[in-house]
């Protein structure tokens, strides 16, 4: 479908499904004073001040958006990612230090750099990185993994599965299955080879033929080579990313999973008689270079010249005609704190981390609910971290898969790979709408956990303490071709509430350079590209 025709169909869908009023909107002030988002003064360039790993192979990265308004990024860590983690952290920290010490940039607004630098030193990352070459390969891997886990709590998972048990289970499943020619039924079976890990949405011709052969073998008494053929099929489906992780009949590897609160289209749809946030353009999409816009085009990590996008790369996944794209981008909101009628009143005096010691002018706060013009919004610090997770160069980011579930279906996932299936969520309770001038004007719910969950999940949820929220009957999304549909139903699942990770960015100005010039954009983008296998362009960073 051409972009214009696709957008017309999307608008028709919205008109048909958003008849329900936007229930719950009020102009009441948020009462919980706990700080969230990013406090700042001006839309300056910024750099990431956290400790996330960089994965250079886009095939190892999958992005999921589903009911509950959270974006989950799962990365299968290559041996090279682990092997270079400490050295990457040192390289990034030292590059920041160099551009600061050389007077290339001037830090503004906040003191995230100082906090990051202090934590970097406290964890002894320089000393740890210098141990490479003086310890065994196994010890070096252990040092990297311990640092990664310590610096990114509740995000690193060691996945260990018995390969023979997986294949035996799958063969038994295929032995009684009759999927016929319907692709959806075939994919249901294919994805059961390694449950909650594959998310295959299409089969190439050779893969379809291999699956048919495996189906016949499973039904046969003479299937001695079923295991080897299943292994080859698995590696083909996953582009070989697990080849180094499947040894001695064990699937043994590490995953990094980040979950961020996300804003979706500014309307609701109705499900089971209740209004819920709408997810537009559900289905399978891919990160793509932006070829039209107000900034420098031709790359996936596009930076808009519009100030309210925060001078942070956004990630387009759908061309919508003209200069418009649906993208994963920042909050897109200018919340002036003084005099704001919705923000907690205590924020007027908030000074934590302020560079000049005075209260901040603004806060970048994402809405975990209906808010956008069609895109997917993340907190500014979370978007900066997402950029850090992805490959250094645009070409390697192109094609990263972005799954978008039906509006009423949840992200049902097995985080640990141990069979404990949960609904994905996050501990973040702000949701609001804004005016055309991008000023927050109404809230969807109070910013406390119980009120927010009552609005977000309604009758689906049985409320309880963190880790004890359960759900009755819920569905997950299934992906067939590039479309999505209602998938399997589950009963009694628990909500996993990922911690809200503070948004770690430092604001700065490039001395003598207009931030929106080509030179300024190049600098901004290049400073975010540190990672193994990539040689930083020091000329773009104005360094000798």
Kindly report, residue by residue over 284-326, the tens digit of the pLDDT. 999 999 999 877 899 999 999 998 999 999 999 999 999 899 9
CA angle 224, 230, 236 (to 5 degrees): 145
Confirm whether 492 is domain-assigned: yes
pLDDT recorded at residue 9: 36
Q: Do residue 245 and residue 320 come from a single domain?
A: no
> What sign has the CA pseudo-torsion 330, 303, 391, 524?
negative
pLDDT recorded at residue 471: 97
For the chain, what is the mean pLDDT? 93
pLDDT interval class at 2 (50, 70, 90): very low
Q: Do residue 284 and residue 428 come from a single domain?
A: yes
Quote the CA–CA distance of 435 and 438 in Å, as a whole number.
5
* Residue 19 in this model has a pLDDT that exceeds 90: no
Q: Do residue 274 and residue 413 come from a single domain?
A: yes
Q: Do residue 281 and residue 333 come from a single domain?
A: yes
Confirm whether 217 is domain-assigned: yes
Q: Do residue 480 and residue 506 come from a single domain?
A: yes
Confirm whether 146 is domain-assigned: no
Across residues 400-427, what is the average pLDDT? 98
Beta pairing class for 376-377 and 325-329: parallel
Q: Do residue 341 and residue 196 come from a single domain?
A: no
pLDDT recorded at residue 17: 35
Question: What's 58's DSSP letter?
Answer: G
Say if CB 500 and CB 426 are below 8 A apart.
yes
pLDDT recorded at residue 434: 87
Q: Which of 223, 254, 285 corresponds to the end of one domain?
A: 254
According to DSSP, the residues that pair with 73 across neighbouring strands are 63, 258
pLDDT recorded at residue 24: 65
Q: Whole-model pTM?
A: 0.94
pLDDT recorded at residue 20: 36
Q: Do residue 373 and residue 290 come from a single domain?
A: yes
Structure tokens at 330: 């920042």
Q: Which of 212, 238, 254 corresponds to the end of one domain?
A: 254
- As a whole number of Å, the end-to-end CA separation of the chain is 49
Say if CB 75 and CB 60 are below 8 A apart.
yes
Confirm whether 9 is domain-assigned: no
Q: Do residue 164 and residue 276 come from a single domain?
A: no
Residues recorded for the chain: 544
Q: Do residue 82 and residue 61 come from a single domain?
A: yes
Q: Determine which of 218-222, 417-421, 448-452, 515-519 has the lowest per-residue pLDDT on average.
A: 218-222
pLDDT recorded at residue 294: 79
Number of domains in the chain: 2
pLDDT recorded at residue 22: 44
Quote the CA–CA distance of 516 and 305 in Å, as a whole number.
6
Please give the residue range of the domain that contains residue 195: 158-254
Q: Do residue 273 and residue 248 come from a single domain?
A: no
pLDDT recorded at residue 438: 79
Confirm whether 58 is domain-assigned: yes
Quote the CA–CA distance of 438 and 335 in Å, as a whole number.
8
Q: Do residue 250 and residue 274 come from a single domain?
A: no
Q: Where are the beta strands (DSSP E) in 250-406?
A: 250-261, 264-271, 274-278, 283-286, 315-319, 325-329, 335-336, 362-364, 370-372, 376-377, 401-404
pLDDT recorded at residue 373: 87
Confirm whether 11 is domain-assigned: no
Confirm whether 72 is domain-assigned: yes
Residue 322, judged by CB atoms within 10 A of its CB (0-12, 13-18, 19+), counts as exposed
Q: Do residue 389 and residue 310 come from a single domain?
A: yes
Say if CB 346 and CB 33 are below 8 A apart.
yes
Confirm whether 128 is domain-assigned: yes
């Amino acid at each position: 479908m051409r972009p214009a025709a696709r957008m017309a169909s999307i608008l028709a869908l919205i008109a048909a499904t958003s008849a329900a009023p936007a229930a719950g909107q009020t102009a009441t002030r948020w009462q919980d004073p706990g700080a969230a988002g990013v406090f700042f003064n001006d839309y300056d360039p910024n750099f990431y001040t956290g400790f996330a790993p960089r994965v250079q192979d886009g095939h190892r990265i999958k992005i999921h958006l589903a009911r509950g308004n959270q974006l989950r990024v799962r990365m299968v860590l290559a041996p090279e990612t682990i092997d270079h983690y400490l050295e990457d952290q040192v390289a990034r920290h030292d590059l920041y230090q160099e551009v600061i010490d050389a007077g290339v940039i001037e830090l503004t607004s906040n003191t995230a750099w100082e906090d990051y630098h202090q934590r970097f030193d406290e964890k002894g990352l320089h000393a740890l990185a210098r141990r490479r070459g003086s310890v065994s390969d196994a010890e070096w891997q252990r040092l990297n993994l311990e640092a990664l886990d310590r610096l990114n709590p509740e995000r690193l998972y060691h996945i260990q599965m018995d390969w023979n048990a997986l294949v035996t289970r799958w063969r038994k499943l295929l032995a009684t299955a009759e999927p016929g020619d319907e692709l959806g039924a075939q994919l249901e079976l294919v994805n059961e080879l390694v449950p909650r890990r594959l998310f295959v949405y299409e089969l190439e011709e050779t893969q379809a033929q291999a699956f048919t052969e495996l189906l016949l073998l499973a039904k046969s008494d003479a299937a001695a080579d079923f295991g080897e053929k299943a292994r080859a099929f698995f590696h083909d489906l996953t582009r070989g990313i697990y080849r180094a992780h499947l040894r001695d009949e064990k699937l043994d590897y590490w995953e990094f999973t980040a979950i961020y609160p996300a804003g979706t289209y500014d309307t609701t749809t109705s499900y089971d008689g209740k209004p819920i946030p709408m997810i537009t353009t559900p289905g399978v999409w891919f990160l793509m270079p932006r070829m039209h816009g107000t900034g420098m085009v031709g790359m996936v990590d596009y930076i808009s010249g519009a100030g309210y996008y925060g001078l942070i790369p956004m990630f387009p996944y759908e061309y919508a005609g003209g200069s418009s794209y649906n993208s994963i981008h920042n909050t897109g909101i200018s919340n002036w704190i003084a005099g704001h009628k919705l923000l907690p009143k205590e924020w007027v005096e908030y000074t934590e981390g302020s560079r000049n010691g005075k209260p901040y002018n603004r806060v970048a706060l994402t809405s975990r609910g209906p808010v956008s013009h069609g895109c997917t919004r993340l907190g500014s610090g979370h978007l900066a971290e997402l950029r850090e997770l992805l490959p250094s160069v645009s070409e390697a980011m192109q094609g990263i898969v972005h799954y978008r579930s039906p509006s009423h279906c949840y992200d049902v996932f097995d985080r640990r790979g141990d069979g404990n299936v949960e609904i994905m969520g996050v501990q973040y309770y702000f949701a609001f709408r804004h005016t055309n001038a991008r000023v927050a004007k109404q809230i969807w719910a109070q910013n406390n956990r119980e009120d927010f969950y009552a609005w977000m999940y309604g009758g689906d949820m049985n409320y309880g303490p963190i880790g004890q929220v359960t759900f009755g009957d819920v569905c997950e999304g299934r992906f067939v071709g590039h479309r999505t549909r209602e998938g399997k139903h589950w009963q009694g699942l628990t909500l996993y509430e990922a911690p809200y990770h503070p948004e770690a960015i430092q604001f700065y100005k490039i001395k003598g350079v207009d931030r929106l010039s080509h030179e300024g954009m190049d600098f901004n983008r290049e400073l975010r590209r540190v990672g193994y296998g990539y040689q930083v362009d020091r000329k773009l960073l104005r360094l000798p």
